[in-house]
Amino acid sequence: MISCYNILNKIKWDKNLNKEDYLVYYLDKINNKLIIIKFIDIKEISKNFITLEDKEIPIHRIKEIMKKDRIIWKR
């Protein structure tokens, strides 16, 4: 299985992919619910975190990546 990190980087760097088509779902431990973020809101991707404007989210909290209405990766 391809890792979440690899999928995120492919979306980021592949010029043929429309970044606006992708959503990332991560588990918010405080509220114990899935939070949806737009891929275009991700500022940086590292092996351990994705960085948004105002916070860092651990990669292990990412549960799904969707393209439009289709799940392309799921933990």
Dump pLDDT digits (tens) for 31-43. Answer: 999 999 999 999 9
Global pTM value: 0.92
User: Which residues, given as ranges, of the chain have pLDDT below 70?
Assistant: none
User: From CA 63, how far away is CA 60, in angstroms rounded?
Assistant: 8
- pLDDT for 26 equals 97
Percentages of the chain per state (helix, strand, coil), in multiples of 5: 25, 45, 30
- pLDDT for 1 equals 76
User: From CA 68, how far away is CA 61, in angstroms rounded?
Assistant: 21
- pLDDT for 68 equals 95
- One-letter amino acid of 16: N
